[in-house]
Amino acid sequence: MSTLDVAVIGTGRVGLPLALAFADRGLNVLGVDRSPQILEAVRDGRMPFEEPGAPEVLQRVTAAGTISWSDRVADAAAADHVVITLGTPSFSHIEIDLRDIRSVLDDLLPHLRPGTSLTLRSTIAPRTTAFVAGYLRKHRDFRIGEDVFVAHAPERIAAGRFFEEIVSLPCIVGGVGERSGEVVGELFSVFGAPIVQTTPEQAELAKIWTNILRYATFALPNLLMMDCEQYDANVFEVIDLINRDYPRGGMKLPGFTAGTCLRKDFAFSEERSTAPGMLLAASRVNESVPLFLVEGAKRRLGSLENKKVAVLGLAFKSATDDERDSLSHKLIRLLERELADVAVHDPWVTTPTQPLTDALDGADAVMVAANHPEFCTAETLAAIAACATPSALVIDPWNCWGAGQVFGYASELAALRTA
């Protein structure tokens, strides 16, 4: 047994909170990352991104000496348990990209010791866990489940809820061989949440389809929003008709549906799907929302050339600083192609944006791209009424202020504020 209990390879939004949580429970943890910026931040006791509760935990485990940092993957092999939390992209032509995982395995292979467990925590395509086990078997002749232990324990925690959900959400563990599930389950049992043992393939599918379910669920109201525009109907009223006192309702509200997980994970199923195109169709709906909003603005305002458009929100969803795969960026690019003058405000992200009143000043249109809690307030409504032009178009697919209009006007919102 080594003196290093756990090594977490990849200290981004999945790996860093996990490393801190292990260290906060007294385990000796090594966080491994190749980003100098991330390592500089955590060594200085600073979180490189927003995660409620994380700064306090980082300070606590740093003071306790239960966490250390490295930029060398090979150093992780000194731990009894290695957890890989790398990003898992797909190629543009719907093929899974395993290069980062293979690179980590190649760095670890010469140094892995019998008795070590290796856990894949990030979202992966079906049979990736079996591939990793086979890779270790092929190159080191390890007996998986006896000499070393390999499992998939998928991350299913929502951004901003890590320390709340790590202790409450059931932890799925899909182990390869006789004892892998048991060994990895024992590691994650330190958080006190239920451990659910299954096969690697079922663990992989459960994670992928958790995200696919949400992605497809939100595609439906987005498509309905577009249908309502075609038929001169109000999407919020139609959704109310669907859901009101009806036991088989449950239609969600429209909005931007993206983010680094939802936007790519359908490809992990689509790669070998027996129904190719079904999930691509859901993706096309969600990806079309920015263009739908731009075209809706043009129908109401005419050309957007030289018109000022204020975009509220760069993050991919409410109350996060995470901009990865946010549709806000697509919206901004589309507006720029229309030669609009785009101003952006987001109080959460680290990317520099304008103050709210500056972004709204003289705006001909206001587009709510992320429903941050700060936006859904009477104060923001008052700022729009005071700063934007009186005839400004306000585009709010989230229904932030209860106006019940995807395409409304500043004057209408001003009336709503005084009602």
* Two domains, one topology: 4-198 and 233-418: yes
The rounded distance, in Å, linking the Cα atoms of 355 and 360 is 9
> Which amino acid is present at 336?
E
Q: Torsion angle of alpha carbons 89, 95, 101, 102, nearest 10°?
A: -150
DSSP of 126-190: TTHHHHHHHHHHHHH---BTTTBEEEE----PPTT-HHHHTTTS-EEEEEESSSHHHHHHHHHGG
Tens-level pLDDT at each residue, the chain (419 residues): 468 999 999 999 999 999 999 999 999 999 999 999 999 999 999 999 999 999 999 999 999 999 999 999 999 999 999 999 997 777 666 778 889 999 999 999 999 999 999 999 998 889 999 999 999 999 999 999 999 999 999 999 988 899 999 999 999 999 999 899 999 999 999 999 999 999 999 999 999 999 889 999 999 999 999 999 999 999 999 999 999 999 999 999 999 988 767 767 777 777 777 777 888 888 899 999 999 999 999 999 999 999 999 999 999 999 999 998 899 999 999 999 999 999 999 999 999 999 999 999 999 999 999 999 999 999 999 999 999 999 999 999 999 999 999 999 988 876 766 55
3.30.450.20, 3.40.50.1820, 3.40.50.720, 2.70.70.10: which CATH number matches 233-418?
A: 3.40.50.720
Spatial CA neighbour of 203 closest among 163, 242, 165, 156: 156
Widest distance between CA atoms in the chain: 74
3.40.50.720, 3.30.70.2190, 2.30.30.700, 3.40.50.970: which CATH number matches 4-198?
A: 3.40.50.720
Domain spans, the chain: 4-198, 233-418
Indicate the SS3 state at residue 8.
Answer: strand
Element (H, E) at 74: none
